[in-house]
């Protein structure tokens, strides 16, 4: 049971934990819990926590599929977007939309 969770119908702060959410002990209303999208603890190569909208710098030359050249070390990427999955950063680099692993960047 969490102190921060209250019933959306009767606003009583006494929910019971259910398999996929909560149930109010007072009025019996059932609702889904807050989904955990896994984006709250994504860290860069130095251990700094990243958030959507941050600017990052690439720390290693990265090869890309289908394009000659890739991304050079030291390239600054502005306004990243965090997405769930093994490639956590969605960003536009040199006019291309790419997914990048957070281990290959540092917070700028």
What is residue 15's predicted lDDT score, i.e. its pLDDT?
84
Range of the domain at 6: 1-35
Q: Which residues of the chain have pLDDT under 70?
A: 1-4, 34-38, 66-67
The residues, any chain, with a CB within 8 Å of residue 37's CB and separated by 6 or more, are 84
Q: ∠ CA 98-104-107 to the nearest 5 degrees?
A: 95
Inside any domain, residue 26: yes
| Rounded Cα gap, residues 69 and 53, in angstroms | 26
Rg, the chain, Cα only: 20
Instruction: Tell whether 60 and 101 lie within a shared domain.
Output: yes
Instruction: Tell whether 66 and 102 lie within a shared domain.
Output: yes
Q: Which whole-number Å values give the CA distances from 36 to 13, 32, 46, 52, 83, in the listed order?
A: 21, 12, 24, 16, 12
């Amino acid at each position: 049971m969490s102190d921060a969770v209250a019933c959306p119908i009767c606003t009583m702060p006494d929910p019971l934990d259910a398999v996929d959410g909560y149930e109010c002990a007072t009025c019996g209303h059932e609702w889904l819990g807050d989904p955990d999208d896994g984006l709250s603890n994504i860290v860069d190569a130095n251990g700094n926590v990243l958030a959507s909208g941050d600017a990052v710098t690439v720390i290693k030359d990265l090869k890309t599929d289908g394009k000659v050249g890739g991304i050079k070390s030291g390239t600054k990427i502005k306004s990243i977007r965090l997405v769930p999955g093994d490639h956590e950063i969605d960003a536009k680099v040199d006019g291309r939309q790419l997914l990048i692993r957070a281990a290959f960047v540092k917070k700028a």
